[in-house]
Amino acid sequence: MRKRILAIISLAVISVAATAQSANFDLAKSLDVQNSILKQLSANYVDSVQFGKLINTGINAMLSSLDPYTVYYPEEDEDDVQMMTTGIYGGVGSLIKKRPNEAVLITEPYPDSPAVKAGLQPGDSIIAIDGKSVYGETSQQSSDRMKGQPGSKVVFKVVKGRTGNVEDVTVKRERIHISNIEHYCLLRGNIGYVSITGFTQGMTAELRNVVQELKASGAERLIIDLRGNGGGLMDEAIKLMSLFVPKGTVVVSSKGRAKGTNVEYRTQTDPIDTKIPVMVMINSGSASASEIVAGAFQDLDRGTIAGVRSFGKGLIQSVRPTSFNGTLKVTTGKYYTPSGRCVQAIDYSHRNEDGSVGAIPDSLTHEFKTAGGRTVKDGGGITPDIIVEHDKYSRPTISLVYNDILGDYALKYYKEHETIAPADEFALTDEEYEDFVAFCQDKEFDWRSGTDAEIEKLIEVAKYDGLYDNCKAEIEALKSKLDINKAEALRMVKDEVKPILESDIAVKYYFQRASAIVDLRYDKQLFTSIDKWLEDKQ
């Protein structure tokens, strides 16, 4: 028996050694082939070769074959890495829009930013940066020239949106920090609400102060809104949980192939409140760190999850340095919620149109138990305890947003109105909405109803099958009854479009927080979730 065991062990060691040798040989062989090809291109290709661009293209194609989240950042993209991990970059502090062969349009300066201090406003157009025209540049090229080391200066030649005057505006760049706390307030008198847009460094420290402020103002319950929050640093997700569960609680665990990746992550600090009822809002845009938080609240039975199923990204990325000051964001493992669930979608290459997880057969899922004994499942994303669907938008509304026609009108409105009511009171009048309808008449967007689109498909199929002539009169009669013009289509979707338009306009006057204030007023999903949450607790 002993000899048989030793033989098995020996075979296993030989097998592992052979596998390692085979992997190393394959790597060396592949590198040698690549080097040989590059030498041949250098010596024989008909035109000169930009090897830096060629190599980066090859790297990006290679990494994309692994998963969507493993990405290489060369040294010149270091600002993107800083923005990804810290929410900080050096620049002027404004969202911009640039179409081909047009100026750079200031659309949304950040509060207290260098742009605001220099007097830049929504609707101002930058036609030159440091004396060089922006026409012919891509949006990214102009954006890169606007960024720079904090303390350095940049000179813009600006056409002022409200007056048309041309001015030279000097802006001193600063370290721009974009807060992950979008908005917080009290709802219904005693429910604290906070919307979090990301998980960059320092988010939880800011959240701690917000929660304490809300409690001091009378909050007896708390809503953490993670809808649309695509995640960020796992460490910040763990720190967030440390505010609400005892020190030493397991929040998430990771499993990977490399040494040191099989780890349990516990809270490291004392909480501020382990009793306050918490509801976490999620949707198909809630991913990664958002799902760690939602999964931990659910598995520990510390909070109620509401909304719709989350994105389903259970992969962990680590940031690793490469030669020549590059950075590799590489998937190093999968994370697991306290009950043992992996929320990673079973197949991340096949998703719904919005990127969320598709339907998963029960046969492919497994059951797990929360701390209180409730059953939860894996298979992709976090399934809420309270499922409340969000509003569905029509084809014209989606097309208006996609083509940024709402944003264009918001800039027009800003140019024509010096002031508006506070964000929580601002609303468009019927006359102003009609002005928007008139504004859209020469704009290109798909204003057809879903029915119109389907009838056109029906006509195409009928023609293809040779049946159209037999039923042409009936189809055309139906099409005539359902056919509406652009203005009528916009009036039909007024209830959908008006809230979005009010939000876009309010931002121009009161910055990004105003958007959240306006959006809350129309948030049926949130308030329905609150009603159900309160009913469950009675």
Per-residue pLDDT 10s for the chain (538 aa) are 444 444 444 444 444 455 555 667 788 888 888 888 888 888 888 888 888 888 888 888 988 888 888 888 887 777 777 777 777 788 999 999 999 899 999 999 999 999 999 999 999 999 999 999 999 999 999 999 999 999 999 999 999 999 999 999 999 999 998 899 999 999 999 999 999 999 999 999 999 999 999 999 999 999 999 999 999 889 999 999 999 999 999 999 998 888 878 899 999 999 999 999 999 999 999 999 999 999 999 999 999 999 999 999 888 888 888 888 888 988 888 899 999 999 887 665 555 665 566 666 666 788 999 999 999 988 888 999 999 999 889 999 999 999 999 999 999 999 999 999 999 999 999 999 999 999 999 999 988 877 777 777 888 888 888 877 888 887 777 766 666 789 999 999 999 999 999 999 999 999 999 999 999 999 999 999 999 999 976 5
**Assigned domain for 534 exists:** no
Q: CA 150 to CA 461: how far, in whole Å?
A: 60
Last residue of a domain, one of 359, 390, 421: 390
Q: What is the pLDDT of residue 361?
A: 67
Residue whose C-alpha is closest to residue 196's, from 280, 322, 86:
280
Three-state DSSP class for 345? coil
Q: What is the CATH number of the domain that holds 122?
A: 2.30.42.10
Per-residue model confidence (pLDDT) at position 84: 72
In a domain, 384, yes or no: yes
Cα separations (Å) of 373 from 36, 298, 538? Answer: 60, 11, 21
| Alpha-carbon gap, residue 238 to 266, rounded angstroms | 7
Residues 368 and 243 placed together within one structural domain of the fold: yes
Catalytic residue flag (residue 215): no
In angstroms, rounded to a whole number, what is the distance separating the alpha carbons of residues 233 and 199?
Answer: 5
Residues 257 and 375 in one domain: yes
Q: How many domains does the chain have?
A: 3
Q: Are 177 and 197 in contact (CB under 8 A)?
A: no
Is residue 334 within 8 A of residue 342, CB to CB? The reply is yes
- Same domain (yes/no): 151, 202: no
- Cα(160)–Cα(167) distance, rounded to whole angstroms? 7
Catalytic residue among 125, 288, 449, 503: 288
Q: Which amino acid makes up residue 223? A: I
- Do 274 and 380 fall into the same domain? yes
Evaluate whether residue 164 is within a structural domain: yes
Task: Tell me, yes or no, whether 209 and 278 share the same domain.
Answer: yes
Looking at the structure, tell me whether residues 232 and 250 fall in a common domain.
yes
Does 313 qualify as catalytic in the annotation? Answer: yes
Q: Does 275 fall in a domain?
A: yes
State whether 225 and 125 are in the same domain.
no
Residues 286 and 421 in one domain: no
The CATH number linked to 248 is 3.90.226.10
Final residue of a domain: which of 390, 425, 459?
390
Which among 482, 504, 405, 412 has a CA at the least distance from the CA of 446?
405
Annotation says 299 is catalytic: yes
Contacts 24+ apart (CB under 8 A), 129-135: 129/104, 129/154, 129/155, 129/156, 129/157, 130/154, 130/155, 131/155, 131/157, 134/98, 134/103, 134/104, 135/101, 135/102, 135/103
**Structural domain for 251, as ranges:** 181-390
Residue 25 lies in a domain: no
My answer on whether 223 and 115 are in the same domain is no
**Within a domain: 237:** yes
Same domain, 173 and 188: no
Last residue of a domain, one of 177, 197, 225: 177
Give the Cα separation of 108 and 116 in Å (integer). 10
Catalytic residue among 124, 142, 157, 299: 299
Q: Is 318 domain-assigned?
A: yes
Does residue 384 share a domain with residue 421? Answer: no
Beta strands in 102-233 (DSSP E): 104-109, 125-129, 132-133, 153-159, 166-172, 174-177, 181-187, 191-196, 221-225
DSSP 8-class letter at 199: B
- The answer to whether residue 462 sits within a structural domain is no
User: Are 171 and 222 in a shared domain?
Assistant: no
Given 313, 329, 415, 508, which residue is catalytic? Answer: 313
